[in-house]
Chains A and B, each alone.
Chain A
Amino acid sequence: MLKIFKPVFSALLQIALLGLGLWWLLDSGAQSMGYQWQWDRVPDYIAFYEDGEWWPAELIDGLFVTIKISAISLFFTLVIGLGTAMLKLSDSVVGRAIATGYIELIRNTPLLVQIYLLYFVFGPVIGLDRFSTAVLALSLFQGAYTAEILRGGLNSISKGQFEAAKSLGLSPFHTYYDVIIPQLLQRTLPALTNEVVSLVKNSSIVSVMAIFDLTTEGRNIVSETAMPFEIWFTVAGIYLLLTLSLSALSALLEHRLGASWRTQ
């Protein structure tokens, strides 16, 4: 009992000391700037109570937009990533060239520049609305990284799996759907989790195109209320909660996907 209790207790103590130290540093800094903490006003921007019901306020609205953008972009990220990885491993010279060109172009230019290009140039040209442009920008960006992860994963699956599927008469679709992709996900899940987390964080950049995501809402509240410390800490806290839950979900999924055969 003591064996478990002692390290946990000492860890908690260390975290508490560190937290107190940081708090002191921040508070004394704020005081010397003459900053007035107004934490009591923050909850109003998360949710408010009216007519006997709780209503989501700006920050929660923003969180839902962030989740929606991230979720739709995640779907397209995986589709683009898998498609690109398969193209890059294909026998087609043109296919490989397209995949390599796409990956290098996206990986070697800043996301913000890509968003501006899509928002001001390509979006209007092909008639996309703001939300779709945001989803397109994020999926194209994250898809390039995901493609390389999935390509590595595909390379690690033995040729024998494809041969067995073929000799059993499985169609290419079912070969991937039933045989290859489940193994691919299990192997690449830790790296894919990184991509999902960075997708959620990168979604904050779409605030430059007037989409009311969590970051945009935060900035608007700050400009109305002049309490940047409280609001930005709260926004950061909400992002942290979101990404930490995703990591936890991934750990659970990894356990479930691999529990019975991961020793191979």
Chain B
Amino acid sequence: MNAIDFTNVNKWYGNFQALKNINLTVNKGEILVICGPSGSGKSTLIRTVNGLESISQGEISVLNQPIVDTPAGKVGMVFQHFNLFPHLTVLENLTLSPIRTLKLSKQEAADRAMHYLQRVNISEQASKYPIQLSGGQQQRVAIARSLCMEPEILLFDEPTSALDPETIQEVLDVMVDLASDGITMMCVTHEMGFARKVAHRVIFMDQGEVLEMATPEQIFSAPQHPRTQQFLNQILSH
């Protein structure tokens, strides 16, 4: 079963073409890593999956349905800058949408929230406000918040790019743990160690195009496209 299908997707911002003829199928349970230089359209690509970006041409279906019919919360997203709700406690951040959207009772939502907070090893911070947490802790809360909606697909938009080097690992550990769980993941990231470890496929994008798609072993040991070779040389050389 397919989790996400892109068919001939194009997107323009004025004259600038952000996505060029994307044809891509993400299987259910697949971990797909998207890499590429900045401005290559990686973020735009995953943001089309949950409707944060519209497309100019083509079709996207999620769980074999057009994206407008995606049930609330089935596609979760983890952002570079966390985007936690600063006026709510950690627990309230997690229970808000389950209570409002899935109509859970307060108690059910709180139980579910505590379950996922334990999963990301942060249950002791439940009553704190986001501002009181470190970046890595905030990002783990954000992941737990997405999980509380019990999504089938999780999108990660550079989840570790705004973090201190010291806290990157704690977020990656959570993501690796999730990957073993069978959830479908689309991750825009520069963490090639993570890609090597858990990705089923890696996509390399440049100037809105998918230039190369292969397993991590293939793409890291024998990249086909010269642009991929150049990019990987640059980010793996240090």
Contacts and interface: CB of A to CB of B under 8 A. Distances in A.
A168 interface: yes
Contacts of A98: none
Contacts of B72: 168-170
Interface string B64-96: 000000011111110101011111000000001
Given A160-B81, A179-B85, A183-B86, A167 B146 contact: yes
B137 interface: no
Main secondary structure of the interface of A (DSSP, over half): helix
A164 B51 contact: no
A167 B218 CA distance: 33
Contacts of A179: 85, 96
A167 B52 contact: yes
Contacts of A166: 50-52
B229 to A, nearest CB: 34
Interface stretch (A60-68, A80-88, A256-264): A256-264
Nearest to B128: A260
A186 interface: yes
Interface in A245-264: 257, 260-261, 263-264
Contacts of B77: 163-164, 167
Interface residues of A, number: 22
Contact of A170 (B75, B83, B100): B100
Count chain B CB atoms within 10 A of each CB in A168, A178, A183, A186 and give the residue with the most: A168
A51 to B, nearest CB: 52
A171 B71 CA distance: 12
A168 B73 contact: yes
B119 to A, nearest CB: 17
A163 B101 CA distance: 16
Contact of A264 (B100, B131, B155): B131
Interface of B: 50-52, 71-77, 79, 81, 83-87, 96-97, 100-101, 129-131, 142, 145-146, 149, 155
Interface of A: 158, 160-161, 163-164, 166-171, 174, 178-179, 182-183, 186, 257, 260-261, 263-264
23 contacts: A158-B81, A160-B81, A161-B85, A163-B52, A164-B85, A166-B50, A167-B50, A167-B75, A167-B76, A168-B145, A168-B146, A169-B74, A169-B97, A169-B101, A170-B96, A170-B101, A171-B100, A179-B85, A186-B87, A257-B87, A261-B87, A263-B131, A264-B86
